[in-house]
Amino acid sequence: MKKNINNLYLTLLLCLFAGLMSCSKPIVLEESDLLGSWKSENMRINGIPASEYASNPSYYQYALGLQKDNFYHLNYSAGEWSILNNNELYLSNRGTFKIISFRENRFTIEGEMDAAKLNWAFEGLFENETLVITEDYYR
């Protein structure tokens, strides 16, 4: 009898989980949602905080400005930007990043690039490796 109750609880838990997962809406953005000035608060490289690799926060704390004319500036680089497929941020000098979360004043992006494109001197680390970069921005 106890086994049947445990199976019932497990079934209910799985149904609840499946129901919650089906409620999550896909991220659909327009360029106007991201216009303005943003600051990065966290960066992760292959899941590890960027502060583990660089003690100077200027390497991993960025000011990102996304302008209406599709021009962007990011600390020491600039270029064109756009939204692709309603949920990807394209930055011409950095690549394409999937927007994995978005709220009115906060978003998180994730993408792949090499150390050269990230523009960091890693001193032998990640020389020919594709890095997964995750960045959190707020305004």
Flag whether 55 is in a domain.
yes
User: Is residue 66, in this structure, part of any structural domain at all?
Assistant: yes
Domain count, the chain: 1
Q: By residue range, what is the domain housing residue 103? A: 31-138
The Cα–Cα gap between 100 and 88 comes to 9
SS3 5: helix
pTM score = 0.76
Burial 111-134, CB ≥16 within 10 A → b, else e = bebebeebebeeeeebeeeebebb
pLDDT tens for each residue of the chain, 139 residues long: 556 565 555 555 554 554 444 456 688 888 999 999 999 999 999 998 988 877 777 777 889 999 999 999 988 789 999 999 999 999 998 899 999 999 989 999 999 988 777 776 665 567 778 889 999 999 9
- Establish if 6 belongs to a structural domain: no
The domain spanning residue 85 has which CATH number?
Answer: 2.40.128.20
